[in-house]
Structure 1
Amino acid sequence: MKKIVFILLIGSSFISQSCINDNDDAIMVAPSDGAVVNPNVGGATQPNQVWIDLGTNTEAVTTRTDWDFAFYTGNSFKVVLNSSIMMAAGKIPNATHIDLVTDASVAALKDEIQVANFNPANETYIDDVKGNFPSGYTAIDEIKANDSENAVYLVNMGKKIFTGNVPSGSVTTGGDSRGWMKVQVVRAGASYKIKYAELNATDHKELIITKNTSYNYNFVSLGKNSEVTIQPEKKKWDLCFTVFTNLITGAGSYIYADFVLTNNVGGVGAYEVKVTSGSGVEAYNNFKASDVDPSKFVYNDQRAIGGNWRNPVGTNGLEVYGDRFYIIKDAEGYYFKLRFTRLTSTSGERGRPQFEYKPL
């Protein structure tokens, strides 16, 4: 009887150890089986920002003009401008009190604090295009604990969304000017306080922003004098389809349509696979988990996909590059392969992209 019990114990131990080893080597299985996705960018004026979560195959849609400033929720105190509407900001020299700033006193600055005016110097008025925050540069300096060390800024509020007609195949990323504001951000304990007003106002409004660490940022709309919900929670989105202010070497800031950002602040990584021979579709279909190269993931630049997936001036007109696809690692550790299949609608309207993806 003792021999039988001993054999059973040994067998049970062997089975248990085998299961542990199998689990150690297991590949995480994503909750989504993949899909063909048509992000609701909104057409040729591209009015929307679309936040995609690959793991759950869900999207959240916001209008580009729904927000003005994003306040970082980590340990640092950083403020980010809404680059999708061409915002820019610059320090007002010698300004110590926001209420004393007037339109006349900043008139000369207005010509400088611009986006897409082909002046290489204008890149100092936008945020780090890599989006590598909190370490990346921001047009508004990191907010100091001492109020007097925080400058008053002249803020170019960017462009409204264009409301006119756009020819087929074209895109219009901005409409009329949204005007100018004077802004100062200070700390309020562990929170932020933003002071703001129109240029000739002799008093200002204030808003306290308490960091919500479930999100990468707290977002604020000055027009609504309140916080607004824009991005999903930090672990619940991977990609954003948006208009984007990027840089052109030697020409400064420039506005791009059909841009795709990764949630690098939330821990998402991505890299491009370029097919040098054979069919791009076949290479995508055959790509498997064992082909993933962890050393290639880009975590410090939100433009890992960017505009590299499409060619707006191709010999065949608007086209998606067929020789490349992308590998995504989301914040929860799941891997996906993704390829773009369309830049326009079937009738040729810009701002109607499509992509397919599958978990690895």
Structure 2
Amino acid sequence: MKYLKIFSILSIMVATQSCLSADEDPVPVPPMTGSEVNVKVGGPTEPNQVWIDLSDYTNPAVNSRTDWDLGFYTGDEFRVIMNGSLAMTVIKIPNAADITKVKDADVTSLKEIAQVGTFDAANMKYIDNPNGDFLNQTSGIDAIKENDADNPVYLINLGREIPSAANIGAGSVSLSGDPRGWKKIQILRAQNGYKIRYADLNATGTDIKEYIITKDTEYNFSFFNLKTGTPVKIQPKKKRWDLAFTTFTNEVFMGPTTSAGSYFYADFVTTNTLNGVGAYQVSVTGNLEQAYTAFKLKDVEPAKFVFNDHRAIGDKWRTTTGTSANPVPFVYSDRFFVLKDAEGFYFKLRFNKMKDENGNRGYTNFEFEPL
């Protein structure tokens, strides 16, 4: 977060008597005025994930979507998430207790169904819960059991590479390049963390790799890259981010209640619900500029905040369908959002664009103001 630090001769004289240790965080303060932010999504292949703290918006954390594969929860529970920005999936390998004995030929049929975008509602079981409630999800990777033998062997689809940016038409995106391949994995508990066993599908014996992932409680997750076999820092510390700009594996519907299963989205925004960030949409019937300017802290409606679904903003700020008079894609001009951050500060924010001056996607701009 952004901090106000005041130093004076007096403070130096009494420093040894201060109850604030060198290791403690100073009290965070929100920015005094609003600002406009150009999000470094990276263009029409949307190669980056961007993590923004509204109280320190000039220092976003940025990583390539392919920097990580799995996130290991650092709280009391033992849960593991996948990188939804790559359209990853996972499926249990039936009757597999020994990872060394699983071969490529054993999982051929599983590869056909563990996919995103098949327009089959049943494929939701192969992804993480899109609402972000990984602690209670019954899809994706099961909670890691204390008894090693109770933890299954999985086939994991590493999703898609970031494609080349060449020959992408104005207004379009290209999110999915070549397949990143498959791994077999098994995750066990370890002291203060996890042990992951992983390998290529035909690997046996000493070709099975192992790594101990330690819970770092300053962060929500400890992240790991299966291709490089190394841990990696992705998200900022727990309360040091509010919004994430990313591609996203979501659920798509053919009608109000008819699921078509998992689908891959561009231009998506998630909120840090795990650490108390909430948001809601304010719909405007008249002039957006006037309504946004007039909105003050007294107008906030606490009951409307969404704290249990990190898609509170999601794709609601833009559309990819429209009319000839308003060609797609475009940012909605009839809404803005209110956000309560991890420290309890309130903000209003609105989105201004999702394209550059040449009409290329992946150039998001938004503005915000503390309330």
Common fold: TM-score over 0.5: yes
- For 1:283-298, what aligned pairs fall within 5 Å after superposition? 283-298=291-306
Q: 2:322 aligns with which of 314, 327, 339?
A: 314
**Alpha carbons 1:92, 1:151 under 8 Å: kept:** yes
Q: 1:337 aligns with which of 348, 355, 358?
A: 348
State the distance in 2 between where 1:87 and 1:29 align.
38
Q: Summarize the Cα distance change of 1:117–1:32 in structure 2 as closer, same or farther, 3 Å threshold.
A: farther
- For 1:94-133, what aligned pairs fall within 5 Å after superposition? 94-133=95-134
State the distance in 2 between where 1:180 and 1:300 align.
32
Task: Report the alpha carbon displacement of residue 34 of structure 1 after superposing the two structures with TM.
Answer: 2.2
Task: Provide the residue aligned with 1:4 in structure 2.
Answer: none
Task: Report the alpha carbon displacement of residue 312 of structure 1 after superposing the two structures with TM.
Answer: 1.4
- List alignment gaps of at least 5 residues for structure 2: 1-27, 254-258
Task: Provide the residue aligned with 1:352 in structure 2.
Answer: 363
Task: Provide the residue aligned with 1:237 in structure 2.
Answer: 241
Q: Summarize the Cα distance change of 1:280–1:180 in structure 2 as closer, same or farther, 3 Å threshold.
A: same
Q: 1:198 aligns with which of 194, 197, 200?
A: 200
Task: Report the alpha carbon displacement of residue 189 of structure 1 after superposing the two structures with TM.
Answer: 2.5
AA of the residue aligned to 2:38: N
Task: Report the alpha carbon displacement of residue 133 of structure 1 after superposing the two structures with TM.
Answer: 3.4
CA RMSD of aligned residues (A): 1.2
State the distance in 2 between where 1:137 and 1:55 align.
35
State the distance in 2 between where 1:296 and 1:96 align.
47
3-state SS, counterpart of residue 344 of structure 2: coil
Task: Provide the residue aligned with 2:275 in structure 1.
Answer: 266
- For 1:75-224, what aligned pairs fall within 5 Å after superposition? 75-163=76-164, 164-203=166-205, 204-224=208-228
**Alpha carbons 1:132, 1:301 under 8 Å: kept:** yes
Q: Which runs of 4+ in 1 moved over 3 A?
A: none
- List alignment gaps of at least 5 residues for structure 1: 1-27
AA of the residue aligned to 1:85: L
AA of the residue aligned to 1:307: D
- Whether 1:46 aligns to 2:60 is no
Task: Report the alpha carbon displacement of residue 156 of structure 1 after superposing the two structures with TM.
Answer: 0.5
Task: Provide the residue aligned with 2:264 in structure 1.
Answer: 255
State the distance in 2 between where 1:139 and 1:74 align.
18
Q: Summarize the Cα distance change of 1:120–1:56 in structure 2 as closer, same or farther, 3 Å threshold.
A: same
State the distance in 1 between where 2:171 and 2:67 align.
26
Aligned residues: 332
Task: Report the alpha carbon displacement of residue 32 of structure 1 after superposing the two structures with TM.
Answer: 4.9
State the distance in 1 between where 2:38 and 2:342 align.
23
Alpha-carbon deviations, 1:101-143, whole Å to 9, x = none? 0000111111110111112111100000000232334411000
Task: Report the alpha carbon displacement of residue 324 of structure 1 after superposing the two structures with TM.
Answer: 0.6
**Alpha carbons 2:124, 2:139 under 8 Å: kept:** no
**Alpha carbons 2:68, 2:223 under 8 Å: kept:** yes
- For 1:269-280, what aligned pairs fall within 5 Å after superposition? 269-275=278-284, 277-280=285-288
State the distance in 2 between where 1:32 and 1:157 align.
43
Task: Provide the residue aligned with 1:15 in structure 2.
Answer: none
State the distance in 2 between where 1:223 and 1:32 align.
43
Task: Report the alpha carbon displacement of residue 181 of structure 1 after superposing the two structures with TM.
Answer: 0.3
Alpha-carbon deviations, 1:237-272, whole Å to 9, x = none? 000110000001321000000000001112211111
**Alpha carbons 1:132, 1:264 under 8 Å: kept:** no
Task: Report the alpha carbon displacement of residue 29 of structure 1 after superposing the two structures with TM.
Answer: 5.8
Task: Provide the residue aligned with 1:68 in structure 2.
Answer: 69
State the distance in 2 between where 1:132 and 1:299 align.
11
**Alpha carbons 1:34, 1:54 under 8 Å: kept:** no
AA of the residue aligned to 1:263: N
What's the TM-score once normalised by structure 2's chain length? 0.88
| % identity of equivalent residues | 54
State the distance in 1 between where 2:313 and 2:118 align.
25
**Alpha carbons 2:279, 2:305 under 8 Å: kept:** yes
AA of the residue aligned to 2:293: N
